[in-house]
């Protein structure tokens, strides 16, 4: 067994009831969401211990709620590049900017972080099959981890999701169930599967463990900056789980003594056609009101009823952060800007952190003297159909005359 034996429990966010180490996702007293609590008085971790380990998310073993080491499913996820982007910082108007590039994970998105923990936990709970509700990226990640773990998998997606994301999940042998309806309809179908067929649906009945994987993005940012934090972290938000998990990882790093100060302004970016967290923040609401019919090309963020929206809202306010929504065109423009200035090709839902930072800077909500990290969460290769045909292509016959006519004027 691992070092976390006896140190993990699920605690209700609302009433605080401790449920112990169980398979559950809602409090049996108040129906509040459950989250993992790790007793760091019983778990010893140091910077030296972490730095001696492999450069993947499991280097933060003491922060991850899998007790039995033999159940760990590791595809090499994590410790992704934190790229200093000076020319992009100049273009946007901030003092210093870093890109946390999660497009290079095994299935090309940050979803490998939570999926890896959830599938490992499914093995620990001796479940025979796993699944997920997904707008695309989580489907491929869950399928890949299930395949590596030797588990059957069932992934539920809206029938409107991009074809490459459907194929990506299928290639691992997962059964793909396309649901006619919104993501929220998909989520209800996945919840039924979890309840009626005892499937470990990673973002339903395994959700408290699932979200823990995303904490590692916050831990990595701190470590890669020399165990300190930037002024602000900008996060694409769909369910809100990534933003709240990054902050939870940072808070736990502070609790464990790895960083001296956990102050950082957590900032949310969403598309205007599906921005329930931004809307709640801007309107001063104490709850997140659902968007019944999301209307956006940014399909990976089209979650109208965000499962962790309230927690994300609380974190934004607690940390002095902010939230901004951008148009679909701004998100796509950010893809091109990010590619041009950094060489990173992201999907609109990944580059929306850059678009959001740009918009918030223009509105005066982000200071020009700030040091900022933008989390870029998924590759553009899965969303090619949202981009217009490129204009910088030239077709020529195989002759020097044609070559000279094509590129000569461009070099003058």
204 within domain boundaries: no
Q: What's the Rg (C-alpha) of the chain?
A: 21
Residues 258, 352 within the same domain: yes
Under a CB-based contact definition with an 8 Å cutoff, are residues 116 and 145 in contact? yes
Q: Is there a single domain that holds both residue 31 and residue 96?
A: no
Closest CA to 126 of 89, 71, 74: 71
Average pLDDT over residues 345-360: 99
Does 129 fall in a domain?
Answer: no
What are 225-241's pLDDT values in tens digits?
999 999 999 999 999 99
Per-chain mean pLDDT for the chain: 97
Determine, yes or no, domain membership for 141.
Answer: no
Residues in the chain: 412
Assess whether 7 and 104 both reside in one domain.
no
Q: What is the pTM of this model?
A: 0.96
- Same domain for 99 and 1: no
Residue 1 has pLDDT above 70, yes or no: no
Both tokens of 333, joined, read 């423009």
Instruction: Determine, yes or no, domain membership for 4.
Output: yes
Percent of the chain with pLDDT over 90: 96
Check whether residue 227 and residue 279 sit in a common domain: yes
Q: Are 324 and 366 in contact (CB under 8 A)?
A: no
* Same-domain pairing of 291 and 353: yes
Give the SS3 label for residue 252.
helix
Residues 63-82 have a mean pLDDT of: 98
CATH assignment at residue 351: 3.40.50.1100
Angle, vertex CA 324, rays to CA 77 and CA 345, nearest 5: 40
Largest CA distance in the chain: 79
* 104 and 7 housed in the same domain: no
In tens, the pLDDT along 11-36 reads 999 999 999 999 999 999 999 999 99
pLDDT over threshold 90, residue 412: no
State mean pLDDT over 308-324. 99
Query: For residues 304 and 277, what is the distance between their CA atoms, to the nearest angstrom?
Result: 9
Instruction: List, as one string, the DSSP characters of 35-72.
Output: EEEE-TTS----HHHHHTS-SSGGGGGGGS----GGG-
Domain of residue 25, residue span: 1-44
Specify the 3-state DSSP secondary structure of 215.
Answer: helix
Residue 3 has pLDDT above 70, yes or no: no
Q: What is the pLDDT of residue 11?
A: 98
pLDDT in tens, 253-279: 999 999 999 999 999 999 999 999 999
Query: Do 39 and 87 have their domain in common?
Result: no
Asked if pLDDT for residue 100 goes beyond 60, the answer is yes
Per the structure, the count of domains in the chain is 2
Confirm whether 40 is domain-assigned: yes
pLDDT at 6 exceeding the cut of 80: no
Same domain, 17 and 89: no
Q: Are residues 240 and 312 in the same domain?
A: yes
Give the pLDDT confidence score for residue 2 in this predicted structure.
62
**Quick one: 215 and 282 in the same domain?**
yes
Domain shared by 309 and 369, yes or no? yes
Chain segment 172-205, per-residue pLDDT in tens: 999 999 999 999 999 999 999 999 998 999 999 9
Instruction: Determine contact, residues 104/40, Cβ cutoff 8 Å.
Output: no
Residue 168 lies in a domain: no
Specify if 335 maps to a domain.
Answer: yes
Distance CA 72, CA 81 (A): 23
pLDDT number for residue 292: 93
- Residue 127, in any domain of the structure: no
Q: Can you tell me the distance from the alpha carbon of 58 to that of 74, in angstroms, rounded to the nearest whole number?
A: 8
- DSSP secondary structure string, 86-141? HHHHHHHT-SEEEEEEGGGSTTSBTTHHHHHHHHHHHHHTT-SEEEEE-SSHHHHH
pLDDT > 70 in the chain, percent: 99
pLDDT band for position 136 (cuts 50, 70, 90):
confident
Confidence at residue 141, expressed as pLDDT on a 0 to 100 scale: 98
Residue with tokens 């998100």: 331
């Amino acid at each position: 067994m691992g070092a976390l034996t006896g140190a993990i429990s699920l605690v209700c966010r609302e009433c605080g009831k401790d449920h112990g180490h169980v398979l559950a996702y809602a409090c049996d007293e108040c129906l509040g969401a459950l989250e993992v609590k790790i007793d760091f008085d019983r778990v010893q971790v140091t910077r030296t211990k972490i730095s001696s380990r492999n450069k993947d998310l499991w280097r933060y073993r003491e922060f991850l709620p899998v007790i039995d080491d033999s159940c760990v499913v590791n595809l090499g996820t994590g410790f992704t590049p934190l790229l200093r982007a000076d020319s992009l910082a100049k273009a946007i108007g901030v003092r210093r900017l870093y890109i946390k590039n999660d497009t290079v994970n095994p299935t090309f998105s940050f979803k490998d972080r939570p999926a890896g923990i959830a599938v490992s936990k499914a093995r620990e709970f001796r479940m025979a099959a796993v699944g997920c509700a997904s707008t695309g990226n989580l489907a491929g990640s869950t399928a890949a981890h299930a395949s590596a773990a030797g588990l059957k998998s069932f992934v539920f997606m809206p029938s409107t999701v991009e074809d490459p994301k459907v194929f990506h999940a299928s290639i691992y042998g997962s059964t793909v169930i396309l649901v006619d309806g919104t993501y929220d309809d998909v989520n209800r179908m996945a919840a039924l599967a979890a309840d009626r067929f005892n499937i470990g649906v990673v973002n339903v009945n395994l959700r408290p463990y699932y979200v823990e994987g995303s904490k590692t993005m916050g831990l990595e940012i701190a470590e890669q900056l020399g165990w300190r934090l930037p002024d602000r972290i900008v996060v694409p938000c769909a369910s809100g789980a990534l933003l709240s998990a990054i902050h939870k990882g940072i808070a736990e790093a502070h609790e464990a003594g790895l960083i001296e100060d956990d102050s950082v302004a957590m900032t949310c970016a969403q598309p205007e056609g599906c921005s329930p967290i931004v809307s709640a923040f801007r309107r001063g609401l104490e709850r997140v009101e659902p968007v019944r019919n999301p209307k956006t090309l940014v399909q990976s963020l089209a979650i109208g009823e965000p499962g962790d929206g309230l927690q994300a809202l609380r974190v934004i306010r607690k940390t002095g952060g902010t939230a901004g929504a951008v148009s679909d065109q701004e998100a796509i423009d950010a893809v091109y800007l990010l590619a041009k200035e950094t060489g990173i090709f992201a999907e609109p839902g990944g580059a929306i952190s850059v678009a959001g930072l740009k918009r918030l800077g223009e509105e005066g909500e982000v200071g020009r003297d700030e040091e900022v990290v933008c989390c870029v969460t998924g590759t553009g290769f899965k969303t090619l159909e949202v981009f217009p045909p490129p204009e910088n292509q030239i077709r020529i016959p195989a002759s020097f005359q044609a070559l000279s006519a094509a590129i000569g004027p461009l070099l003058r």
